[in-house]
Chains A and B, each alone.
Chain A
């Protein structure tokens, strides 16, 4: 029997995340957005409650949650601030390659530190020359005795200026394309690792994003994840797991847009009645509700498949792509319902649009998601 209801346990997790979002994130969200401030105090509290390393199994001290449970939490956090949520869940993305591709020894050596005290990790895949073309990355790794030497530059790396560990994807030979890509974990303290300055962004301004340069960084052979050439597959499998929570993040932003817009539509009067009683607004609200409902269910479905042991590439692509497009549409509609006020920074909805935009771009642009979806579709007809 298919069941669309949350368990009591999931409702408890939802309550916890909702409370944290409301009491810790929302009160500072607007100010952090305006100033581009990275609210480390909020992130430390998130870590203390166990909201940071959601995917790390309990045996290493993490929360050990299923992808579905992660989605439930992420949606609630993103309702208060998409940018902070991105920074809170960045450890999940950065540590996933170690969970999926690391040996037991490597996991024991790296993961407990993130669960026993507050530390951030960053996932370093995208490069200035391209993000979607992951097979074409240029950062080099060259074997030199019992070490690799890393040279190159990564960009748009979440939490990079604050991270203590990087999971890095580099190639033994760019001519090998995806077959040459190899993964490593590299401590921030390693000589030659240089995170750049914090980027000024359109949205997600409470999150921190920068380049990371690797300049003749010597990485022990023991810190390579999997075999040489396994990196591309590892990156893709990682994204299969983390793409779905991005759908949940977008859904949270979209739900916030509905909540603000519906509330406003009952308070704002024109032509002698609340604007929510005008059909023009009702039709908009109805469309918004459909978008968000579908986004949530697609996200839940993808998570359910992955938790059941399936790869879920197609479904997680559909969920991420649909939910992020929905977030853009719904945030746009919310601004329209607020009218001129919606365009003002004194009101909360314009931030939602700026935050939603990134969800169409990061963790695989929506164009890449559509290519994945189309290819998968066409295999059934070839």
Chain B
């Protein structure tokens, strides 16, 4: 089985994040870029499928600027992906999700695959566009948000479960297809030390920006981030004075109902 997994470098959630001086984007100075969140779950799922179908191979593909994109591809290789493709993003270009999807789909169509897994959204912009848009570009079906995904070797099909309002929808489907995964319903593994060292020596395939443009036409972002702000600091914490836990609970419920109006 040929598996592709799309990943993206995102700011380490432990980094202290702040807007740039103009308030138009994230200040990337000092930000550590990592493979985490939905993407980490997607890599884990691709590796689990690979292990359940001997002879399978996983290729990680990422679109982004150097060197952060190469670093997260090496993280994916260290976890167990077999090969990696870096789709070059020129410095200065600020892509929107559709542009990213176009660039990634160009890299994906170079590699025949049975299944393409992708986080249902990236941990940073949470746009949720890339998975469905890549599927559209490639002309294959897409399913999401998927919370369970298994390979049935006897039937030669995938069994998957989609989270829908109030329940699960179970689907049997054949590849090639795109699956957009919910976060953390698997337990992402930690890379072994020897694999971390080995991943540093693995050659990463590169798809140049010129090649992307030749393939998908002049790539210009269709949307632009105009403002980027941190949420206002929280104020107005109210301490409840109480003698017994029951009294504290009663007061809390009363305040939630009468003042915060979050309870009916």
Contacts and interface: CB of A to CB of B under 8 A. Distances in A.
**Real binding pair:** yes
A310 B190 CA distance: 35
Given A12-B74, A12-B78, A48 B192 contact: yes
Contacts of A23: 190
> What is the predominant secondary structure among interface residues of chain B facing chain A?
helix
Interface in A235-268: none
B200 interface: yes
Interface string A48-89: 111100000010000100000000000000000000000000
A373 interface: no
Nearest to B34: A15
A358 B196 CA distance: 32
A157 to B, nearest CB: 26
Nearest to B196: A12
Taking each of A8, A51, A58, which has the highest tally of chain B beta carbons within 10 Å of its own beta carbon? Answer: A8
Q: Which of the four size classes fits the interface of chain B?
A: 10 to 19
Contacts of A50: 192-194
B190 A16 contact: yes
Nearest to A53: B193
Chain A residues touching B, range = 10 to 19
Q: Output the residue of A8, A9, A16, A58 with the most chain B CB within 10 A.
A: A16
A349 B34 CA distance: 29
B66 interface: no
Contact of B196 (A16, A48, A58): A16
Contact of A9 (B190, B194, B197): B197
A63 B190 contact: no
Nearest to B193: A50
B191 interface: yes
Residue of A8, A48, A49, A58 with most chain B CB atoms under a 10 A cut-off:
A49
Interface string B164-208: 000000000000000000000000001111101101100000000
28 contacts: A8-B71, A8-B200, A9-B197, A9-B200, A12-B78, A12-B196, A12-B197, A12-B200, A13-B193, A13-B196, A13-B197, A16-B190, A16-B191, A16-B196, A19-B190, A20-B190, A23-B190, A48-B192, A49-B190, A49-B191, A49-B192, A49-B193, A50-B192, A50-B193, A50-B194, A51-B193, A58-B194, A63-B193
Interface of B: 71, 74, 78, 190-194, 196-197, 199-200
Given A51-B193, A58-B194, 4 more contacts: A8-B200, A12-B74, A13-B197, A16-B191
